[in-house]
Amino acid sequence: MVAQRIAFLASGADTAQDALVSLTALYGNHAPEVASHIVALGGDGFMLQTLHQTQSLDIPVYGMNCGTIGFLMNAYGKDDLPKRLAEASEEVLNPLAMKVETVAGPPVFGLAINEVSLLRAGPQAAKLRISVDGRVRMEELVCDGALVATPAGSTAYNYSAHGPIVPIGSDVLTLTAIAAFRPRRWRGALLPKAAVVRFDVLEPDKRPVRADADSLSVPGVLSVEIRSEPGIRHRILFDEGHGLEERLLREQFA
């Protein structure tokens, strides 16, 4: 087995910090820039943070669950970690890129591994116009919000908003309304991965909207443009037999 240089990164939770101490004592701890593998200790939120922070390194990231949510994580265990890393299966994910025009200031850019969401920021429902590849597809959606999700994110906020779960290997994005009021029965759309989605906020002063891309939140939205970013590859490792494809299937039969 080729010698592994593991970089351990941990969230601030006590369980993750304790795991960091134990694993470092067993396997050492390298800087991410010189590591062969990055091991993230925490929950899904910390995994997303780690993927964003290390996206320029082209190093696979293996998560171990020390938090409360772990869809992107593997089970925690101190023993045989080098063997687990060597035998793990790899999934490659492309994030979404968003460009936000706001009522004040220059455009804001962000990346999202799970989804880009627009949410009402006041007491009244949002009014959104939806365009796909430059063509208006819905003149007015009255709702609490809407989101565009990657296949990896289809089991997260998208699923809670009654959007579909889609396989990792499918080149599609989900567009899902959040608490749609009009059209009341609109359930969203499946779009090609290469599609460019634009939301224009109607009546932004009366019905303010914010845009969220993972941990980045932008208030005072006028419009948001969303597209897949193939130039960025997130390499995620899963224990054999417990990859994202299997997890997506299990989630649909739970």
DSSP per-residue letters across 176-236 = EEES--BSTT---EEEETT--EEEEEESTTTS-EEEEETTEEE-SEEEEEEEE-TT--EEE
In this structure, are strands 89-93 and 234-238 parallel, antiparallel, or unpaired?
antiparallel
DSSP per-residue letters across 81-123 = HHHHHHH-EEEEE--EEEEEEESSSS-EEEEESSEEEEEE-SS
* Whether residue 44 lies in the annotated active site: yes
DSSP per-residue letters across 6-52 = EEEEE-SSHHHHHHHHHHHHHH----GGG-SEEEEEE-HHHHHHHHH
Euclidean distance between CA atoms 130 and 138, whole angstroms: 5
Euclidean distance between CA atoms 109 and 133, whole angstroms: 19
Active site residue: 44, 58, 133, 144, which one? 44
- In the beta sheet, which residues pair with residue 105? none
Q: Environment class of residue 128 by beta-carbon count within 10 Å: exposed (0-12), middle (13-18) or buried (19+)?
A: buried
Locus of tokens 């819905």: 138
| Residues involved in catalysis | 44
